């Protein structure tokens, strides 16, 4: 898998994951909302860690900067 998520995008994907885990730990979420936001947070966290997003691949989006050739 070629990385297609840039560093800014990766940091932005960490935000919902952190917010979810803080809200979950604080007992602010329950029921269906807990599960839905948990899945969104988990996907955001995994894509941020791996640097690859399947949806970006399908849509042809790449926010990862091009690597400059080594001289």
- Listing DSSP states for 26-62 in one string gives TT---HHHHHHHHHHHHHHHHHHHH---HHHHHHT--
Contact 17, 45 (CB under 8 A): yes
Indicate whether 66 pLDDT > 90: no
Domain ranges of the chain: 7-59
pLDDT band at 52 (very low <50, low <70, confident <90, very high): very high
Average pLDDT of the chain is: 87
pLDDT number for residue 64? 85
Phi, psi (degrees; rounded to nearest 5) at 57: -65, -45
Indicate whether 30 pLDDT > 70: yes
Indicate whether 14 pLDDT > 80: yes
Instruction: Please give the average per-residue pLDDT across 8-13, as a whole number.
Output: 92
């Amino acid at each position: 898998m070629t990385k297609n998520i840039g560093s800014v995008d990766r940091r932005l994907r960490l935000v919902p994951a952190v917010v979810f885990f803080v809200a979950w730990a604080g007992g602010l979420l329950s029921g269906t909302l807990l599960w839905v936001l948990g899945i969104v947070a988990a996907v955001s966290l995994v894509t941020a860690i791996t640097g690859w997003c399947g949806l970006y691949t399908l849509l042809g989006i790449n926010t990862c900067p091009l690597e400059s050739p080594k001289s």
